[in-house]
C-alpha cells in the first residue's frame, strides 16, 4: 500500500484554492482599511426625490470579497464532493470526506428541510435568515451527527482503543504494515504514541461530548431555574440565602473544585453519589410543580398525569443514581437503591462524578441569570394581572415569568453547552474522572502535547475539533440572539 | 458606604470560612487521610499501622476540632507516646513541649507544613504567588488594553466592516480555551515540525530570566481567552452608549466623531467592562493552572496541581485561602469601583 498524500489526484485544485484564499485575505484587509480610510460613497439626490449612492472603489472591493468568498466555498465543496466520489484516490482529504458521507447527507437533508419550511418553524426557522446562525448551526450539527454516527461505528476506520504495532507516531496517511481482510488500510490522521488511530479517536471523542455536554447543561438549567425563580420572585431571606450559596460556589476556583471532587478517593467515599442524589431531584421537582400548577384545577386530569409522568421520572432518577442495587456503596456502609433487575442503565462512577461536578459548577451561574430575569419580569403588568386573577405563585413563576424569559435563556443555553464542552476538555486535560484510555478530546490533547515539538498530528485534530464545536455554539447563540431581538 | 463596606466584609469572612471548611472536609475524608499516611509514612503499611499513624498525628480527632486547630482558635493536639515523649501540632524539634505555644494555626501565622515541598506551606505559596503575579501582570498589561481597544473600535460604529471583523475575532478567541490555543501556538511557533521556532515551548527558564522568547506565548495564551469576553462586553456597552440621546446631541452640535468617542462616550462605556475585568480574575486563575501546566512554569497553578495530585492537605488549604481571598477582594473592588464610576448608583 502506498502512503496517502493530503489531496492525491485532486491536487490540481490546490493552486486554485490558494489563489482564492489569497484573494479573500487581501480583499478582507483592503475592505477593513478601506472602511476607515476611503471616503464614504457620495450620495446623489435624484430628480424624483430618491437618493442613490455610487458604489465607488469601496463597492468594488466588496464585490471582489464576495466572489473570492464564493470561490473558496465552491472549491471546498468540490474537495468534499470529489473526495466522496474518489475516496482514497483523492488522498487523505478524499478518504476523510468519504468516511463522513452519512454526516454530509444528514446535514444536506436537515438544511434543505429547514430552509424549505423555515416560516413554520418559529425561532428555529428564523435562524436560517442569519448567515452567522446558519454557519454556527452547521458546525454544531456536524459534530452532533459525527458523534451519533461515530457511536454507530459508521465513520470510524479503526477501533479507538486497538493498538497496531508499527504505527506508533506515524504521520497522516500511513498505510498499515499488514492489513487484514476488511480492515481499513490506512491511518488517515496518523497514529498516536500508543499506535492508535487518531482519526477514529477524534470521531469517538465527539460522542462523549455530544452525550454529556447538553445533558449536563440541561440539568444545570433545571437546578438553576427551580431555585432562581423563587429567589427572584419572593426575594427576602430566601433570596439572600440562595444567593449566598450561589456566590459561595462561584468564588471557588473551578479547577480546585474539580481536583477536590473528581478523584478516586472521593468517589470511594460516596460524596458524588450524595451530590447526584440531591442535584438530580431538581428536574423531578421542576416537572412536578410545572404540571401541578397548570392543571391543579382539573384534578381528574391532573392526578393520572402526575402519577404517570412522575412515576417514569422517579424510575429514571432511581436508575440514574443507583448502581448495582445501591445508591451509595462504600466499604463501611451502603444505602439500598433500585434492585438491579429494575435498573435501566448504570453510569460508571468516573462518568457520574464528572457529570455531577459539571452540573454543580454551572448551576449557580444559571441561578443568577434566572434570578435577574425573574426580578425584572415580576414587575410587568401581565404578572400583576395574573396575581389579581388569583393565580398561585408557582403558576406565575413557571407559566408567566419563565416563558417570557425564554429568549435570553435559550441563548445562554447554547453558550453554556460550549462552556461545558470546555470544562469537559479541562477535566480530560488534567486526566480527571474519565478513564485514562478514553478517546475524549481533552485527554487526547493532553496525551498529544507531550510530543508536540516533534509530532503535531496526535494533538491538533482533537484541539481543532473542540475549537470548531465551541465556535459553532457561540455563533449559533449569536445568531439566535440577533434573530430573537428582531421581534 | 461604611455600613455597606462592613456588611460586605462580614459576608466575605463568612464565605471564606465556609469555603475553607469545605476544602478541609474534602481533603480530610478517610480515604484521603489513608493516602496521606501511605505517602508520608510507608506505602506498604497495614490498616492497623495506618490507623495508629493517623492517631499519633492527631488525625483521629473530630473534624471541627481539627478545623479549629488549623484556624488557630482551638488548642493544638498533643500525643504522649509509651516512652513518655510528647509530640504535638505546635511542638517542633527545636522547641521543647513545655515552651511550645498552645495554639498554632492560620491566626498565629502558621500555615502548616507542605508534604510535597517539605517546607512551610506559607513559604511555598508566597514564592509561587510571586511567579504567578509576574505572569498575571503581563497578562493584564496585554489583555486589558487590547480588549478595550477592540471593543471600543467595534462598538463605535455598529454593524460596520470593522465591527464585524473584530466581533468575529473576539468570538473566535472566546471559543478557544487555553489548552487548545496553547497547543496550537506551541505547534505553530515552537515545533521543529513546522519549523518557525520563534518562541520557546516551555517557560521554565522564564522563572529566573523572563524574556520575550520564553514568556510571550504563555502570556498570550491566557490573555486571548479572557480578551474575547471583555471585548464583547465593551462592544455591547459602547453600542448602547453610542445610541444615547446625548451622543446624538453632540453629533448635531457638530462635535467631531473622534471627540465624541473620546470625550463623551468612553467614560460611560467603560463602567460595564470594569466590573467584567474584575470578575474575570477567578477565570484567569483557571487559565493560569492550565497554562502553567502546559508551559511547565512552576507558579501558583502548578503548585495547585502538585498539591491536589498528592493530597498535600496543608498546601491545598493555603492555596484555597489565597485564591478565595483573591476572588472575594476582586468582587469587592468591582462593587466599589462600580459605585465610584457610576454616579447614578448610590447605596443607601
Q: Look up the CATH number of the domain holding residue A299.
A: 1.10.3720.10
- Whether residue B188 is found in the same domain as residue B214: yes
Which residue blocks in A270-348 are alpha helix, DSSP H?
271-279, 281-295, 299-321
- Taken in order B313, B318, B319, B324, is the CA torsion positive or negative? positive
- The three grid cell numbers given for residue B39, joined into one nine-digit string: 505517602
- Whether residue B222 is found in the same domain as residue B125: yes
- Whether residue B127 is found in the same domain as residue B43: no
Does residue A91 form part of some domain? yes
Which residue, B108, B137, B171, sits at the end of a domain? B108
Does residue A95 form part of some domain? yes
- Whether residue B192 is found in the same domain as residue B53: no
Q: Mutual orientation of helices B121-156 and B313-341 as an angle, nearest 10°?
A: 30
Cα A347 to Cα A324: distance, rounded to the nearest angstrom: 10
- Whether residue B203 is found in the same domain as residue B298: yes
From the CB of residue B42, how many other CB atoms can be counted at a distance below 10 Å? 12
Do residues A352 and A268 touch, judged by C-beta distance below 8 A?
Answer: no
Nearest to A434, CA basis, from A334, A347, A307: A347
From the CB of residue B56, how many other CB atoms can be counted at a distance below 10 Å? 13
Q: Tell me the backbone φ, ψ of residue B80, rounded to 5 degrees.
A: -100, 120
User: How many residues does this entry show for chain A?
Assistant: 487
Cα A261 to Cα A256, A301, B102, distances in angstroms: 9, 44, 33
Does residue B224 form part of some domain? yes
DSSP B233-277: HHHHHHHHHHTSHHHHHHHHHT--HHHIIIIIIHHHHTHHHHHHH
Strands (DSSP E) found in A34-96: 43-45, 51-53
- The three grid cell numbers given for residue A177, joined into one nine-digit string: 504494515
Does residue A300 form part of some domain? yes
Kindly state the average pLDDT of the residues A243-254: 87
Q: Which of A353 and A139 is assigned the larger pLDDT? A: A139
- The three grid cell numbers given for residue B52, joined into one nine-digit string: 495508629
Cα A355 to Cα A424: distance, rounded to the nearest angstrom: 9
DSSP A419-444: HHHHHHHHHHHTT-SS-TT---HHHH
Cα B124 to Cα B118: distance, rounded to the nearest angstrom: 9
- Whether residue B151 is found in the same domain as residue B29: no
B284 and chain A in contact, CB less than 8 A:
no
Give how many domains chain B has, as a whole number: 2
Does residue B239 form part of some domain? yes
In this predicted model, what pLDDT tens digit does every residue of A343-358 receive, in sequence order? Answer: 777 777 678 888 889 9
Does residue B114 form part of some domain? no
Q: What angle do CA B104, B109, B114 make, to 5 degrees?
A: 80
B203 and chain A in contact, CB less than 8 A:
no
Residue A45 pairs in a beta bridge with A51
In this predicted model, what pLDDT tens digit does every residue of A382-430 receive, in sequence order? Answer: 999 999 998 889 999 999 999 998 888 999 999 999 999 999 999 999 9
Q: Give me the residue from A247, A449, A473 closest to B294, CB to CB.
A: A449
With cell 449557580, the residue in question is A364
- Whether residue A425 is found in the same domain as residue A305: yes
Which residues on chain B are in Cβ contact (under 8 Å) with A244? 11, 14-15
Which residues on chain B are in Cβ contact (under 8 Å) with A250? 282
Which residues on chain B are in Cβ contact (under 8 Å) with A426? 177, 179, 286, 290
Alpha-carbon torsion, ordered B216, B221, B226, B232, to 10 deg: 90
Interface size between A and B, measured as CB pairs under 8 A: 149
How confident is the model at residue A45, as a pLDDT? Answer: 73
Which residue, A99, A115, A135, sits at the end of a domain? A99
* 3-state SS class at B69: helix
Per-residue pLDDT for chain B (348 aa), expressed as one digit of tens each?
678 788 888 888 888 889 889 888 888 888 888 888 887 777 777 888 888 888 877 788 888 888 888 888 877 777 777 777 777 777 766 666 667 777 777 888 788 888 888 888 889 999 999 999 999 999 999 999 999 999 999 988 887 778 888 998 999 999 999 999 999 999 888 888 777 788 888 888 888 888 888 899 999 999 999 898 899 989 989 998 888 899 999 989 988 888 888 888 888 888 778 877 877 777 788 889 999 999 999 999 999 999 888 878 889 889 888 888 888 888 888 877 777 776 665 544
Expressed as residue numbers, the domain containing B290 is 121-341
User: How many residues does this entry show for chain B?
Assistant: 348
- Whether residue B185 is found in the same domain as residue B266: yes
Does residue B329 form part of some domain? yes
Q: Which residues of A281-314 are buried (b: 16+ CB within 10 A; e: fewer)?
A: bbbbebbebbbbbeeeeeeeebeeebeeebeebe
Give how many domains chain A has, as a whole number: 2
Predicted TM-score of the model (pTM): 0.90
- Whether residue A78 is found in the same domain as residue A214: no
Which residues on chain B are in Cβ contact (under 8 Å) with A453? 186, 190-193, 201
Which residue, B108, B141, B175, sits at the end of a domain? B108
Does residue A256 form part of some domain? yes
* 3-state SS class at A52: strand
- Whether residue B84 is found in the same domain as residue B11: yes
Which residues on chain A are in Cβ contact (under 8 Å) with B26? 260-261, 266, 271
Residue A326 pairs in a beta bridge with A323, A336
* 3-state SS class at A380: coil
Cα A102 to Cα A108: distance, rounded to the nearest angstrom: 10
- Whether residue B152 is found in the same domain as residue B279: yes
Separation in Å, CA of B191 to nearest CA in chain A: 4
Name, in order, each residue with C-beta under 8 angstroms of A468's C-beta and a sequence gap of 6 or more: A139, A142, A143
Does residue A293 form part of some domain? yes
Expressed as residue numbers, the domain containing A419 is 201-484
Which residue, B108, B135, B168, sits at the end of a domain? B108
Chain B residues 31-60 within an 8 A CB cutoff of chain A: 31-32, 35
ipTM over the 0.90 cut-off? no
- Whether residue A374 is found in the same domain as residue A235: yes
- Whether residue B224 is found in the same domain as residue B126: yes
Amino acid at each position: 500500500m502506498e502512503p496517502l498524500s493530503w489531496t492525491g489526484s485532486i491536487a490540481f485544485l490546490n493552486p486554485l484554492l490558494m489563489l482564492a484564499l489569497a484573494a479573500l485575505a487581501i480583499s478582507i484587509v483592503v475592505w477593513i482599511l478601506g472602511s476607515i480610510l476611503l471616503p464614504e460613497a457620495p450620495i446623489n439626490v435624484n430628480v424624483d426625490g430618491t437618493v442613490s449612492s455610487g458604489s465607488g472603489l469601496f463597492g468594488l472591493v466588496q464585490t471582489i470579497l464576495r466572489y473570492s468568498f464564493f470561490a473558496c466555498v465552491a472549491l471546498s465543496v468540490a474537495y468534499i464532493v470529489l473526495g466522496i466520489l474518489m475516496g482514497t484516490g483523492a488522498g487523505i482529504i478524499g478518504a476523510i470526506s468519504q468516511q463522513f458521507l452519512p454526516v454530509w447527507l444528514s446535514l444536506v437533508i436537515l438544511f434543505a428541510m429547514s430552509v424549505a419550511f423555515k416560516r413554520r418553524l418559529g425561532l428555529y426557522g428564523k435562524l436560517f435568515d442569519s448567515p452567522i446562525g446558519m454557519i454556527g448551526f452547521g458546525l454544531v450539527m456536524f459534530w452532533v451527527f459525527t458523534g451519533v454516527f461515530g457511536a454507530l461505528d459508521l465513520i470510524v476506520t479503526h477501533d479507538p482503543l486497538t493498538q497496531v504495532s508499527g504505527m506508533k507516531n506515524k504521520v497522516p496517511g500511513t498505510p498499515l504494515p499488514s492489513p487484514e481482510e476488511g480492515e481499513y488500510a490506512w491511518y488517515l490522521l496518523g497514529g498516536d504514541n500508543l499506535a492508535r488511530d487518531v482519526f477514529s479517536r477524534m470521531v469517538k471523542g465527539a460522542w462523549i461530548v455530544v452525550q454529556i455536554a447538553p445533558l449536563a447543561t440541561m440539568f444545570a438549567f433545571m437546578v438553576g431555574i427551580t431555585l432562581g425563580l423563587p429567589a427572584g420572585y419572593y426575594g427576602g431571606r430566601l433570596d439572600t440565602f440562595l444567593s449566598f450559596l450561589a456566590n459561595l460556589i462561584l468564588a471557588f476556583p473551578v479547577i480546585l473544585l474539580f481536583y477536590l471532587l473528581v478523584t478516586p478517593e472521593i468517589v470511594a467515599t460516596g460524596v458524588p453519589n450524595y451530590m447526584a442524589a440531591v442535584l438530580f431531584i431538581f428536574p423531578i421537582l421542576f416537572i412536578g410543580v410545572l404540571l401541578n400548577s397548570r392543571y391543579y384545577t382539573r384534578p381528574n386530569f391532573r392526578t393520572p398525569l402526575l402519577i404517570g409522568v412522575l412515576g417514569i421520572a422517579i424510575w429514571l432518577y432511581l436508575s440514574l443514581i443507583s448502581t448495582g442495587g445501591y445508591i451509595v456503596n462504600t466499604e463501611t456502609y451502603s444505602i439500598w437503591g433500585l434492585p438491579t433487575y429494575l435498573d435501566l442503565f448504570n453510569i460508571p462512577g468516573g462518568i457520574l462524578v464528572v457529570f455531577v461536578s459539571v452540573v454543580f459548577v454551572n448551576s449557580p451561574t444559571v441561578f443568577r441569570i434566572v434570578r435577574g430575569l425573574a426580578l425584572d419580569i415580576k414587575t410587568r403588568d401581565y404578572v400583576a394581572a395574573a396575581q389579581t386573577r388569583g393565580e398561585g405563585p408557582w403558576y406565575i413563576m413557571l407559566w408567566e415569568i419563565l416563558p417570557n424569559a425564554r429568549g435570553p435563556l435559550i441563548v445562554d443555553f447554547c453558550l453554556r453547552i460550549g462552556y461545558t464542552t470546555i470544562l469537559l476538555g479541562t477535566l480530560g486535560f488534567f486526566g480527571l474522572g474519565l478513564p485514562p484510555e478514553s478517546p475524549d478530546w481533552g485527554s487526547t490533547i493532553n496525551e498529544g502535547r507531550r510530543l508536540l515539538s516533534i509530532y503535531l498530528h496526535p494533538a491538533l485534530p482533537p484541539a481543532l475539533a473542540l475549537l470548531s464545536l465551541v465556535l459553532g455554539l457561540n455563533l449559533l447563540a449569536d445568531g439566535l440572539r440577533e434573530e430573537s431581538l428582531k421581534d | 458606604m461604611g455600613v455597606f463596606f462592613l456588611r460586605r466584609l462580614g459576608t466575605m469572612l463568612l464565605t471564606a470560612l465556609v469555603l475553607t471548611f469545605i476544602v478541609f472536609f474534602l481533603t480530610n475524608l478517610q480515604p484521603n487521610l489513608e493516602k496521606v499516611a501511605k505517602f508520608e509514612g510507608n506505602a506498604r503499611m497495614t490498616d492497623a499501622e495506618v490507623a495508629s499513624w493517623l492517631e499519633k498525628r492527631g488525625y483521629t480527632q473530630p473534624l471541627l476540632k481539627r478545623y479549629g486547630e488549623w484556624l488557630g482558635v482551638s488548642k493544638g493536639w498533643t500525643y504522649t507516646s509509651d516512652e513518655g515523649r510528647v509530640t504535638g501540632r505546635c511542638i517542633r524539634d527545636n522547641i521543647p513541649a513545655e515552651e511550645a505555644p498552645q495554639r498554632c494555626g492560620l491566626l498565629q501565622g502558621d500555615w502548616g507544613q507542605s508534604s510535597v515541598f517539605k517546607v512551610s506551606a506559607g513559604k511555598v505559596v508566597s514564592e509561587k504567588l510571586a511567579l504567578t503575579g509576574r505572569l498575571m501582570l503581563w497578562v493584564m498589561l496585554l489583555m486589558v488594553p487590547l480588549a478595550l481597544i477592540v471593543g471600543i473600535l467595534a462598538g463605535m460604529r455598529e454593524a460596520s466592516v470593522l465591527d464585524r471583523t473584530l466581533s468575529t475575532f473576539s468570538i473566535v478567541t472566546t471559543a478557544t480555551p487555553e489548552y487548545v490555543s496553547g497547543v496550537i501556538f506551541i505547534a505553530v511557533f515552537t515545533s521543529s515540525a513546522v519549523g518557525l521556532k520563534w518562541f520557546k515551548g516551555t517557560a521554565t527558564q522564564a522563572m529566573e530570566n523572563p524574556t520575550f522568547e520564553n514568556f510571550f506565548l504563555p502570556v498570550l495564551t491566557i490573555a486571548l481567552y479572557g480578551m474575547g469576553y471583555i471585548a464583547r462586553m465593551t462592544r455591547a456597552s459602547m453600542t448602547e452608549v453610542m445610541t444615547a440621546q446625548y451622543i446624538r446631541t453632540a453629533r448635531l452640535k457638530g462635535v467631531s466623531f473622534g471627540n465624541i468617542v473620546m470625550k463623551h462616550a468612553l467614560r460611560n462605556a467603560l463602567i460595564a467592562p470594569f466590573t467584567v475585568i474584575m470578575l474575570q480574575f477567578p477565570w484567569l486563575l483557571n487559565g493560569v493552572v492550565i497554562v502553567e501546566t502546559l508551559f511547565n512554569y512552576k507558579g501558583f497553578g502548578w503548585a495547585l496541581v502538585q498539591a491536589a495530585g498528592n493530597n498535600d492537605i496543608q498546601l491545598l488549604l493555603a492555596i484555597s485561602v489565597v485564591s478565595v481571598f483573591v476572588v472575594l477582594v476582586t468582587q469587592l473592588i468591582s462593587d466599589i469601583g462600580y459605585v465610584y464610576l457610576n454616579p447614578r448608583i448610590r447605596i443607601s
